[in-house]
Amino acid sequence: MSAAIQDLISGYIDDSLSREQLQELSEWINFEPSNARQFASALLLHDRLRNHFIAHEEQAYQQIDASSLVAPAKASARQWRAHRQLAWATTACLVLVATLFFWQTLGARSASAAMRELNRIMIANDRSIDRTFEIAVETTSAPQGDRERTSPEHERPPKPSLDQAILDVRGARQFVLTRKTEQGDSFITGSNGVTSWAVRPDGPVRFSNDLTRFNRDLPGHECSLPINNLHDGLDALRTAYDLTLLPALTTDSVDDPSRRMVAVKKPGYRGPAEVEITYDSANGQIRKMRFVAMPYGVDNVTLTMTLVAERELPANHFDHQTHHAPLRRVEFE
């Protein structure tokens, strides 16, 4: 907005514009919608819009009544028409700005409510004991772009399918992921929070002090949203995703309702395109998570994690020794 336009708006607020200045301001307002928004915003900032509009209406009615008795001079008629046009423009601006403020306020309240619910879900997640999720893969697709050609994943052997895999989780750093190979053998990877490890169907058991050594078997590790670390994954939703709360879901149990939150990835961030969280509306406990177009090696997968059990697992459940024969050869990496 130029200084000349600012002077015209100030003059309009002070009711000191000439007929030519009123016409110039009216033409500027009607030139494009953004000018109308700036004009209305300026009036709102001066806290004069409502009072000025009411005064303008009263003045217009008085002029209309007078015109029925006495023919006004040509200059007065032109000035009245300019005032009337500007009054209509002011009305349109008021409606436009009020609409914008309504939707912005509504959106801000919705986002604030979603953020409060996310905080509640995170607190409930941190308080939870050991949990077991069942994974179901809905779709697998090749990503757009060059990730398939540049990723080292395409040089590695194919991963066992995640479909019907079982994921046990304790806290943020302990997990056991059990998948089945095409031959029906178990392929198990995990971490006890001190070491990470992999138990293949054949060959030695491998373990490492690097907790990320075997996390490539977990979807989301490439974008700091691993499915085994729900705390960090949920925390990533704060900045990288737009959150929306959906109404409570209709369930068979009236006393145990669920609610759903949908997180849509913002431009410029990595990760799944969408994350859907179904949770207990009473205590915030996660019941199901759905990841849409989650990066996983050279592919994108859409998968769901459904809570099937919540109980305290044995203390050594997340140690590799629990998942293989005692005499199995073990190698450190």
Closest of 147, 141, 190, 164 to residue 292, by C-alpha:
141
Residue ranges per structural domain of the chain: 3-104, 128-332
Instruction: Look at residue 106 in the predicted model and tell me its pLDDT.
Output: 40
Instruction: Look at residue 330 in the predicted model and tell me its pLDDT.
Output: 96
**The one-letter amino acid at 319:** D
Is the pTM above the cut of 0.75? no
Distance between start and end Cα atoms, the chain: 64
Instruction: Look at residue 56 in the predicted model and tell me its pLDDT.
Output: 57
In what helix (H) or strand (E) does residue 279 lie, and over which residues does it extend? strand 274-280
Instruction: Look at residue 215 in the predicted model and tell me its pLDDT.
Output: 81
134/22 Cα distance (integer angstroms):
69
Within the chain, which residues score under 50 in pLDDT? Answer: 47-48, 69-70, 99, 102-107, 147-148
- The CATH code for residues 128-332 is 2.50.20.10
58/66 Cα distance (integer angstroms):
12
In what helix (H) or strand (E) does residue 93 lie, and over which residues does it extend? helix 74-127
What are residue 326's phi and psi, to 5 degrees? -60, -35
Coil, helix or strand for 68? coil
Q: Are 238 and 112 in contact (CB under 8 A)?
A: no
pLDDT tens figures, 299-326? 899 999 999 999 999 999 999 999 999 9
